[in-house]
Each structure stands twice: as C-alpha cells, then as structure tokens.
Amino acid sequence: MKRTKQHPFRNNLALSLGLTVLLLPIGLMAESPDHAILQSSDSLNYTEVFRAAMERAPERPLGDAYRDQAAAQQNFAGDWLANRPRTTASYWDDQQADNQGMREMEAGVEVDLWRWGQRRDNASLGDQYWQASESWGNYLALKIAGQVRTTLHDLRRTDIAFAQARRALDDTRELLRISETLHNTGSIARSALMQSRGLVLEAEQRLLDSEAALVDAQRNYQIVTGLHLRPSGAFSEERSQRQAIDSGHPLLGFLQDQAKSRQLQAQLARHDSAGNPTLFMGMRRERGSSGEEDIDSLGIAITMPFGGGNYISAKSSAARLAATEAEVRVIQAHRQLQQQLHEVMHQLESNRRSLELSREQQALHRQHWQMAKKAFSLGETDILPAIQALQRYRESRLRYQLTELDQQRLVSEFNQTVGVLP
C-alpha cells in the first residue's frame, strides 16, 4: 500500500493554526473586560487588599444599624417617662335621659412611669448594644479576612496549575519534536509518533481547563476586593503563637455580647409584662343641673398593676428562651473552634511530612524523565517509557507545588481559627 507523502507546507500550516487556536483563549481573556488578566503591582500590598475587601463587604451597613440601635436605646433610657404621654378627654350630659341640664367635662394627660430597676436595665441594654456593635466590627474584620485568605490561596493555586500546564505542554512538544526526528529517520513507527501527538493534544486541553479555572479565580478576587490589580509578591503569613481558643476570639466576643443583650432583653420583658404604673393629671368641669354654676376641679390619679405572676412568666418566656439559645451558641461556637483548631494542627504536621516526601519524589521523577528522554532520543528505548516518565514527573512536580501551597493555606487557616488577622 502506497502512502501519500505529506507536504511540508501543509504540516507547518497545520502547526501554526494549532498554536493560534491554543493561544486564542489567552488573548481573549486579556481583552475581555469581564475576564481581564489581573496585572501585578509592586506598590499594592495585602493590607490594602484587605482594606478594599472591608470597604466592599455587603455586611458593612450592619455596623451602622447596630450603632443606631445602641443610640436609640440609650436615648430611650435617658427619658423620664417609660412611654409616650397620652391625652384623654371625656364629656357627659343628660340630654338623652332626664334632660335636667347635667353636664360634665374632663381633660387630662396620662403618662407611664418607670418600674423599679426598669430604667437602669434599659440603660444597661443600651451600653451592651454599643459593646455588641464594637465586637461586631471585630468579627466582621475576621470574617472578611477569611474570605480574602481563601480567595488569595485559590488564586495562587490556579496560578500554579496554569504555569504547570504550560510547562507540561512544552515538555510534550519537546517529546513530539524528538518523535518526529526519529520517525523521519525511520527509527520509530508511526504509532509512536501518533502517541506523541496525542500527548500534545491532552496537554493543550489541560491548559485550556487550567486557564478557565484561573479566570474564575481572578474574577472571584475582583468580586471580593473590587480591585483590578494584585500584589506582585506571593501571599504568605507567619503562624500565630496562640495555641488555644480564648475569650478574646472575635466570633466568641460577638456571640457573648449578643448573649448578654438577650439576658437584658429577658429582664426588660418581665418589666414590660408586669405593666407600668400610670399617672393621670387632669381638670374637670361639672354641674348638676342647668340652673347651677359650673364647678372646676383638678385631680390626680395613679394606677398600679400588681400580681399576675403566671401572666408575666408567659409573656416573657420567649425572651428567656432567646437568651438561653444565645448562651448555647457561645458554647457551640467555642467547641467548634476548638475542633477546627485540633484538625488544622494535625493537618499542618501531616502536610509537613508530605512536603518532604513530595520534594524528594519530584527530584527523583525529574531525573528519571531526563534519563528516559535521552534514551528515547538515542533510540535505545521505545516511546512508552518516556511517556510514563514524563507523566510521573509532571504529576510529582504539580503535587510538590500544591503541597507547598497547602502548607501556607493551613497556616492561614490556623490563624483564622484562633482569630488572628493577616
């Protein structure tokens, strides 16, 4: 069977078109406004990145709402009255009855007075709201720090994967060039050449996949920070010296302040359920019949609720339940943080050992790949050992870099767990 000789121009044209298709997504990613490649900046530091994320946080208005709540509560506690004053008026006559000219008019003001300790508890609640607003700010800073940490590590991971995919493509292309040279000299069969071309296609697909992941990570960075620049240096941080979860943790501080607020709210619910004393001050004008003169008088009256223990308990039960639930959340959060800390410390130690092994494996597989490539180029072996050596080296190289990155990620997770800002 006669084989058709391929024209060199057609081969070069096909190779050029292939490279153009390969590089096209990269060019599009650079030009698209929605998927622009982030430019590195030497002047931008990670403190500024964190600050930008804080400014962009959707939860930020909650801080103003907490402060408004505290101010309103303190203003209320500073008032002399327990409720708004009410105006009352009444009119009586006997036109529809005996019609003797009897008439009675009354007008006055009714106010609610503070119960004993009620005003003090309202003032304490206002102070507690202020404290909760401060602890909320600390907790929000830690929460946003966690988002920034995750975003930066994800971005770095996709950077590594993309760079490794490009290097893997270069390696497969080098293997293809060797295969073409050997095939042209008749040293290897066409099937070996086809295997080399298949490896290039696989590497090109991996590059496209890693590029898509990189675009997603860059877009997520832009969403979280609102920035179109990224620091040029790699993100890393020192492990905190804290070894336990203490009460100064921002999350626990916020939950504890919330629990204290709920306790004060439960006390106030009992005051409100018991009812407030009412003071009435008014004026009355009256006459017994049409022939009599009007009599004017001033009066004062006090209404004092009493008893009703079951009623008070029932009305305030929801507030007491909310206070208990808030205390339970503090305990649950503390236990959860302790468990997370234990897991992170264990992962740090395990990953440290894995990092040492992956470093040795990468060096070994790199040496093996160089030897297999040389042996194949000299015609001493078939292409299969070279392919296997390349795949093992490529996998070990990526595993080492990702394991090294995981060590930094775990340090960030450790600091996040103990409540330390970057």
Would you say the pTM of this structure is higher than 0.85? no
CA distance 258 to 19: 60
CA distance 170 to 373: 14
CA distance 194 to 178: 12
CA distance 36 to 219: 8
CA distance 40 to 34: 17
Handedness of CA 379, 383, 388, 391 (dihedral sign): positive
How many separate helices (H) and strands (E) can be counted in the chain? 8, 6
Structural contact between residues 169 and 200, judged by C-beta atoms closer than 8 angstroms = yes
Task: Identify the pLDDT of residue 377.
Answer: 81
CA distance 125 to 71: 11
- Burial (0-12, 13-18, 19+ Cβ within 10 Å), 378: exposed
Structural contact between residues 278 and 305, judged by C-beta atoms closer than 8 angstroms = no
Structural domain boundaries in the chain: 10-418
Cα 63 to chain centroid, rounded: 16
Structural contact between residues 406 and 352, judged by C-beta atoms closer than 8 angstroms = no
CA distance 279 to 296: 20
Task: Identify the pLDDT of residue 16.
Answer: 38
**What is the distance between the terminal CA atoms of the chain, rounded to a whole angstrom?**
70
Fold classified for 10-418: Outer membrane efflux proteins (OEP) (1.20.1600)
Going from the first residue of the chain to its last (422 residues), give the mean pLDDT of each consecutive group of 10, the final group possibly shorter. 39 37 36 60 91 92 91 90 90 83 90 90 92 93 94 91 88 84 78 84 91 92 92 88 89 94 90 86 87 87 83 82 93 94 91 85 86 82 79 83 87 92 86
Task: Identify the pLDDT of residue 12.
Answer: 40
Residue type, 138: N
Task: Identify the pLDDT of residue 36.
Answer: 53
CA distance 109 to 269: 26
The β-bridge partners of 278 are 112, 303
